[in-house]
Amino acid sequence: MLMNTNHFSGEEENPFDRAVVMATKASLCIKGFALLVSVLVAVPTRAQSIGVCYGMLGNNLPPPSEVVSLYKSNNIARMRLYDPNQAALQALRNSNIQVLLDVPRSDVQSLASNPSAAGDWIRRNVVAYWPSVSFRYIAVGNELIPGSDLAQYILPAMRNIYNALSSAGLQNQIKVSTAVDTGVLDKSYPPSAGAFSSAAQAYLSPIVQFLASNGAPLLVNVYPYFSYTGNPGQISLPYALFTASGVVVQDGRFSYQNLFDAIVDAVFAALERVGGANVAVVVSESGWPSAGGGAEASTSNARTYNQNLIRHVGGGTPRRPGKEIEAYIFEMFNENQKAGGIEQNFGLFYPNKQPVYQISF
């Protein structure tokens, strides 16, 4: 505390001294406020456009309550949950983690054919936890278009789920979509030539109209890793890992330094061709394996890809500059009940919750 020494000498207070004291106090207050702001800014915040997929195909994984704590301690703001696991949903209450919740494939046909079943599904798995669990999207099916027998049921199930959300008054807060892989593209190079295959388009054209009318995004699983390993003679590793030093692909006025942007923009171009110019893309999976394959499946490459993905998505793509791309890293844990090889090695963490490699959100 600043004191006026004139009060201790018995002398009358000098107006000039009082002005100096008041100015000094004002200066200290301003500096203190600036310091407070700088401290608040320095507190780590979650990368809001990035989530992590939480799979459960392992017999040695930590319980959901510990998983949610691990998300929070690593500042992971969003989670993709592949089925409405009740223990996981309970653990998510009041966590402030936003959730992309899948309708598992086993439920798709019944939800498509029975509106009351869709209403019950939403009541049990969404309304029962809302708003203490912050649901962001419902994904009706994962990679079922175009080849699965269930593809025909996706749009009817989406409509029934949407109507159930509407009945609960949640249609504006929670968006309904489906997740596809990039196999739905017949053309992806150059990105501006992106187009859906005829088989995929038969399903996706009406789905895109549904998404456009409801302000919902298309969910797309994007893996530069598989593009690179499938065509290493034409695709360089730096281009796949976000480490290319300059433009690799010039597509008219669009310049590409990484494969991720090229793939996402090919999807945007394909959407535009079927009337979905205003439909956003959410990258519902993307990752890189740390082991189990060739030399390219390494902890170094996995760290490089995922860290660069986190840094990159905020800037958008050449076709959608400045529009943040929401993305979900695949995945939280190495899961030992998946097929062997790379499938067991996409995790950011081992089942004992130790990191496979260091990464920052």
Active site residues: 143, 285
Q: Which helix (H) or strand (E) holds 78?
A: strand 78-81
DSSP secondary structure letters along 283-349: EEEE---SSSSSTTSSHHHHHHHHHHHHHHGGGB-SSSBT-PPPEEES-SB--TTS-SGGGG---SB
Q: In angstroms, what CA-CA distances link 201 with 31, 270, 297?
A: 60, 9, 33
**Cα-Cα end-to-end distance for the chain:** 40
Q: Are 103 and 138 in contact (CB under 8 A)?
A: yes
CA distance 291 to 309: 19
Sign of the alpha-carbon torsion through 182, 183, 189, 195: negative
Contacts with 305 (C-beta within 8 Å, 6 or more apart), sequence order: 224, 225, 240, 241, 242, 287, 288
Which amino acid would we find at residue 328? Y
Q: In angstroms, what CA-CA distances link 50 with 32, 89, 171, 311, 324?
A: 33, 19, 23, 10, 10
Phi and psi, residue 7, nearest 5°: -65, -20
CA distance 193 to 121: 39
Q: Which helix (H) or strand (E) holds 137?
A: strand 134-142
> Tokens for 358?
């260091």
